[in-house]
């Protein structure tokens, strides 16, 4: 479904991504793990075309999308839920969700999609007339994911969805991610909560200083001593 081939990205003189190559098959739930500044978010923004690589190619469903813009990426079904939520604080929950559904021409389909969001996140129905700024952190994250779903993603890019949330809310967010994947949405998940990510993902990539250091099925990575030491709180001996 998606392939990144030898992607190099620079921020000025800083070489942020150094030859990233990865692939995502349709229907998978794939995690990207790594420390702050490793290049995880840059990888997602390259896929969604917010950032353009200096070299390398991005292919989606056998089409080279290396030169398209973010709007065209969304039209193809590549939708990103960014780190930090970035909802519209002055708009209501209803208005935020409508913004996510702007590419939909059929109003009945928009309402149906909104109902789907409310089924996943019932609290948003209760808050439908509240402005985004008045929501709790967990509710804002639910709204951010819901807004992304309104764009009908074929590939959903989630950047740190559990960041700053209480454990019970983290469990709920990961439950919904798993549910979405089972419903047919392909998911690429960037997450610092390695233990939770490895619980739900099929495969995983580890990024260190802009390079993929390790990849494979989560069953293999969970038993890797280095992954245990760096990401799962295992022994350093």
**Could you tell me if 120 and 176 are in contact, meaning their C-beta atoms sit under 8 angstroms apart?**
yes
Q: Among 41, 69, 20, which Cα is nearest to 188's?
A: 41
Q: What percent of the chain is modeled with pLDDT above 70?
A: 98
**Taking the C-alpha atoms of 119, 151, 178 and 214 in order, what is their torsion angle to the nearest 10 degrees?**
-160
Give the number of other Cβ atoms within 10 Å of residue 129's Cβ.
9
Instruction: Give the model's pLDDT for residue 226.
Output: 80
Please determine, for residue 16, whether its predicted confidence score (pLDDT) is greater than 80: yes
Task: Specify the pLDDT at position 95.
Answer: 97
Domains in the chain with CATH codes? 2-41+54-189+212-231 (3.40.50.300)
Decide if pLDDT at 133 tops 90: yes
Q: Which residue has the tokens 């919904």?
A: 176
On average, the pLDDT of the chain sits at 92
Angle value at C-alpha 168, between 164 and 170, nearest 5 degrees = 50
Q: What is the separation of C-alpha 25 from the centre of its chain, rounded to a whole number of angstroms? A: 15
Locate 209 and state its tokens: 């200083």
pLDDT digits (tens, 9 = 90+) for 37-90: 999 999 999 999 999 999 999 999 999 999 999 999 999 999 999 888 899 999
Q: Are 150 and 143 in contact (CB under 8 A)?
A: no
Q: What average pLDDT score do residues 11-18 get?
A: 96
List pLDDT tens digits, range 100-120. Answer: 998 877 888 899 999 999 999
Res 99 pLDDT > 50: yes
Phi-psi group of 19: left, alpha or beta (phi > 0 → left; psi -120 to 50 → alpha; rest → beta) = left
CA distance 68 to 70: 7
pLDDT at 115: 96
The pLDDT of residue 237 is 34
The whole-number pLDDT of residue 223 equals: 83
The SS3 call for residue 36 is coil
Angle (CA) 36-167-157 rounded to 5° is 50
User: Token pair 């098959």 is at which residue?
Assistant: 25
pLDDT at 236: 39
d(CA 12, CA 25): 32
């Amino acid at each position: 479904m998606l392939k990144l081939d030898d992607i190099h990205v620079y921020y000025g003189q800083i070489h942020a991504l150094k030859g990233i190559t990865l692939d995502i098959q349709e229907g998978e739930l794939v995690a990207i793990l790594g420390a702050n500044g490793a290049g995880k978010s840059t990888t997602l923004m390259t896929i969604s075309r917010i950032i353009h690589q200096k070299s390398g190619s991005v292919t989606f469903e056998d089409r080279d999308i290396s030169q398209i813009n973010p709007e065209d990426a969304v039209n193809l079904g590549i939708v990103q839920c960014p780190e930090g939520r970035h909802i519209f604080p002055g708009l209501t929950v209803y208005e935020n969700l409508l913004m996510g559904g702007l590419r939909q021409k059929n109003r009945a389909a928009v309402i149906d999609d909104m109902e789907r969001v409310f089924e996943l996140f019932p609290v948003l129905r209760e808050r439908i007339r509240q402005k985004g700024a008045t929501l709790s952190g967990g509710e804002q994250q639910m709204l951010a994911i819901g807004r992304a779903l309104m764009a009908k993603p074929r590939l959903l890019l989630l950047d740190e969805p559990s960041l700053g949330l209480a454990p019970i809310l983290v469990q709920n967010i990961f439950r919904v991610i798993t549910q979405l994947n089972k419903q047919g949405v392909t998911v690429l998940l960037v997450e610092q909560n390695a233990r939770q990510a490895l619980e739900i993902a099929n495969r995983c990539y580890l990024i260190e200083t802009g390079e993929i250091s390790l990849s494979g099925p989560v069953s293999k990575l969970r038993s890797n001593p280095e992954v245990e030491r760096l990401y799962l709180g295992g022994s350093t001996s």
